Amino acid sequence: MDSGQNILTDKTPSALFLVLTINPGGEGAVRDALEGLEGLVTTVSSRAPEATLTAIISIGSDAWDRLFSGPRPAELHPFVELTGDTHTAPATPGDLLLHIKSSRPDLAFEVGRLWTATLGDAVTTVDETHGFRYFDLRDLTGFVDGTENPAGDDAVQVITVDPDDDPEFAGGSYVAVQKYVTDFPSWNALPVPDQENTFGRSKLENVEMDDDTKPSNAHTALTNLPDVDGQSQEIFRDNMPFGDIAGDGEKGTYFIAYSKTPAITELMLRNMFIGDPVGNHDRLLDFTTAVTGTQFFAPSTDFLADLPEAPTAPSEEPTEDASPSDGSLGIGALK
């Protein structure tokens, strides 16, 4: 099986998320940057070999055919916007996602700075979010994030496209990202028992409620997806808190989910925003708002090391000269 990118790392103290769109004519520069990313990470890592540094590059549906000829990942498509009775998960632009993780924020910043510099005006940055680890892996609501993440070999199976399903893109992963901005005055005014009912877990101990006491609109109730055999369908979340302190600066959670198929993440989001049953939306959404939504595919390292040929530009057919061969303007010409 082709090797996947280095997705399954321990939670690092910092992360940088860059979502970019490709400007017209910028495809060649992007291809060069894709090929050069691994070397760039190696160069920056050499300044602090003891520090964890990794960068995962993913490509959106609309950009794929602009960059590569040949087949495309079987399930790659744009983010599906969801509009429920109360809340909306918007779809927003994004051709490239660079997810940089590091134990030092300066290393993550340097990779992002140097890589975007190589791209120049070939791209436009539509979102730049700097994430940080918050206490014992909690988000800014005070609850532990990523409790249900798979680990070890299970995690590899959860995020990796199987060669039997899509042999051309085995080893890759589908990626969905959303930026959630939280209304902290409203959240902090909520009594802790109500906060716990919203998540379906205790706040301090991080113990999940049993099914008899958990509200049907709790976050964990709507995002737990058993399959036909009763086994949980899983994704790997690598969420990070983000935020500005002063004034009305945005604060919240950057949601990022890696999976072997986008269908699982999409069903989770449908349950959250549309409801299960319809109208029974995720109570957490009453306090946090999704402001972005994009979907990508993170190809294997083998794919990135040997990119497919660029698509061939359509040939321009010569326009037929409508002028008469005798040099006249054709005025009054006999038909």
Kindly list the catalytic residues: 145
CA distance 125 to 117: 12
CA distance 330 to 210: 86
CA quadruple 225, 228, 232, 236: dihedral sign = negative
Using one digit for the tens of pLDDT, what is the confidence trace for 114-146? 999 999 999 999 999 999 999 999 999 999 998
User: Which pLDDT band, with edges at 50, 70 and 90, does 113 fall under?
Assistant: very high
Residue 179 one-letter amino acid: K
Of 182, 175, 155, the C-alpha closest to 241 is 182
Asked whether the beta carbons of 173 and 161 are under 8 A apart, the reply is yes
Helix residue ranges, H only, 83-149: 105-119
User: Which pLDDT band, with edges at 50, 70 and 90, does 271 fall under?
Assistant: very high
pLDDT at 208 exceeding the cut of 60: yes
All structural domains of the chain with their residue ranges: 14-305
Using one digit for the tens of pLDDT, what is the confidence trace for 272-288? 999 999 999 999 999 99
User: Which pLDDT band, with edges at 50, 70 and 90, does 2 fall under?
Assistant: confident
Q: What is the pLDDT of residue 312?
A: 87
Using one digit for the tens of pLDDT, what is the confidence trace for 217-257? 999 999 998 776 667 789 999 999 999 988 778 999 999 99
User: Which pLDDT band, with edges at 50, 70 and 90, does 314 fall under?
Assistant: low
Residue 146 one-letter amino acid: G
Query: 142 CB contacts (<8 Å, ≥6 apart)?
Result: 195, 203
The DSSP result for 22-75, as a single string, is EPTT-HHHHHHHHHHHHHHHHHHHTTSTTS-EEEEEEEEHHHHHHH--S---TT
Q: What is the pLDDT of residue 313?
A: 72
**Mean pLDDT of all residues in the chain?**
92
CA distance 288 to 243: 13
Of 84, 62, 61, 143, the C-alpha closest to 269 is 84
Q: What is the pLDDT of residue 190?
A: 98
Q: What is the pLDDT of residue 249?
A: 86
Which helix H or strand E contains 266, and what residues bound it?
Answer: helix 262-273
Q: What is the pLDDT of residue 216?
A: 97
Q: What is the pLDDT of residue 168?
A: 95
